[in-house]
Amino acid sequence: MFDELSEKIKNARIIPVVKMDDTEKAVPLAKALLEGGISAIEITFRTTEGEAGYKKIAECIKKVSTEVPQMLVGAGTVINPSLAEKAVEAGAQFIVSPGFNPSTVDWCIAKNVPVYPGVNNPSLVEVALEKGLSVLKFFPAEVSGGTKMLKALAGPFPTVKFMATGGISEKNVKEYFGCKNLVAVGGSWMVSETLINEKNWQEITRLSKEALAALD
């Protein structure tokens, strides 16, 4: 299920996980990532402002999806069907969630929207397989066993692939790509809030290039 989108994510390799609600910074950020060779982005629905905050985040997704069409845009921290709907209406091409919410997964499947729910143990992998999903988010990666857990899951689930997120940085990213069941990693070290707030697009581009170079 969702094979075409999963292939694009695999080709992207690194997906920056971005916390942003300022529409003026969304497009410059996306362009800085593209210049650094990164072709996918996950904009997260993380806010303490409720509906007003979600609206700002959705607007950021919309700006990137319409003004930077070369960028594959996903929505992260989608914890219910309502947020999934907001994300898709804004132009998100895929949905990522920190955990496995059957309601969110069912909504996405019914709407034919690629969804990557978070799992970190065999039981949740089995639940996902029952829904027809075979590419999942492994979260929180490092505290859930990191590469050791990924390799352990490869045995009983040889057809399942993972996007690993949580605790991944320039120090361990290459180690994750040593796992045969990994399609991509998510990380925020090249898109820190400080760099975004300072509008340091040049440094974001540099860190993006450095991150991809570390995989070769």
Compute CA distances 125 → 15, 88, 159, whole Å: 22, 25, 11
Exposure of 33 by Cβ count < 10 A (0-12 exposed, 13-18 middle, 19+ buried)? buried
Pair of tokens at residue 133:
């999903």
pTM of the model: 0.97
Judge whether residue 1 has pLDDT over 80.
no
Active site residues: 42, 137
Judge whether residue 2 has pLDDT over 80.
yes
Tell me the average pLDDT across 57-86.
98
Q: Give the pLDDT score at 41.
A: 98
Rounded Cα distance between 169 and 165, Å, is 10
Q: Give the pLDDT score at 216.
A: 85
Exposure of 90 by Cβ count < 10 A (0-12 exposed, 13-18 middle, 19+ buried)? buried
